[in-house]
Each structure stands twice: as structure tokens, then as C-alpha cells.
Amino acid sequence: MQQGYKRDFIFKCAGYYTVTQSAKPLHVINQIPLTNKLYNNYPNPFNPTTKIKYEINKDADVKIVIYNILGQVVKSLVNEFKKAGSYNAIFDGSNIASGVYFYRIEAGDFVQAKKMVLVK
């Protein structure tokens, strides 16, 4: 192999596209999810913070917004362009009342919402 020559390989395995380089065998450069997914927050119920994990399979503008039970916006967690991959967002509910809240993701044409419970 010529010095400085690199070749990328993409493997489809376990729900991800895995990009590797031949110069570093089986060294994972990036994992790209096959599908978009919004996970349940953890822990749930929570006090005072919780983690929201999500995966996007292509580059997109991503918005994650927290709503109260009346549908009013409580907080915008994410509002930026993200490359395909897995991400975590942390929600701090220390300044809001106990109760049921919803979080909603918009990433390109992917939209999904889930419920979480804040207990103080």
C-alpha cells in the first residue's frame, strides 16, 4: 500500500453503518444509525435532571422541545444542525414544578414525542 493512502469501508451491522479505515483495521471512525430514533428519557421519573438520547440517520436541523401538560413550551433543549449519529441532551427540571411533561424531536421529516415525569 502506498504511504498516505487510505481507504474507507462501510459495514452495516447491528443497526448502524460503521465507517472504518484500512490503515487502522477495525478502528471505528463513525457509527451512523440506520433509522431515526428517540429513546425514553433516563431516569424516568426524574429529579432534577434526566438524559434524552436520540439518533438521526442523516444530517439535519434538529429541534428538541419540552412541553407541559397544557402544550406550552417549557424549554428548547436542542435547536441546531447535527450530523448523522447518536446524541444525548440533558434536561434540568430544577426550576419547574413537579408533573408530567412531553419532549418532542423534529429532525428533517422525523417527528416523535414521548412523556416524562418530574417528581420533587
The tens digit of pLDDT for each residue in 8-54 reads 555 555 565 565 555 544 555 567 888 999 999 999 999 999 999 99
Domains of the chain, CATH where assigned: 35-118 (2.60.40.1930)
The beta strand positions in the chain, using DSSP E, are: 8-13, 16-21, 24-33, 37-38, 49-56, 60-68, 73-82, 85-92, 99-107, 110-118
| 42-86 confidence digits (pLDDT tens) | 999 999 999 999 999 999 999 999 999 999 999 999 999 999 999
| Predicted confidence (pLDDT) per residue in 87-98, tens digit | 999 999 999 999
Residue pair 100/117 in contact (Cβ under 8 Å)? The answer is yes
Higher local confidence (pLDDT), 17 or 114: 114
The span from the CA of 41 to the CA of 7, in Å, is 38
pLDDT at res. 32: 83
For residue 120, pLDDT over 50 is answered with yes
Determine the Cα–Cα distance for residues 88 and 51; give it in Å rounded to an integer. 6
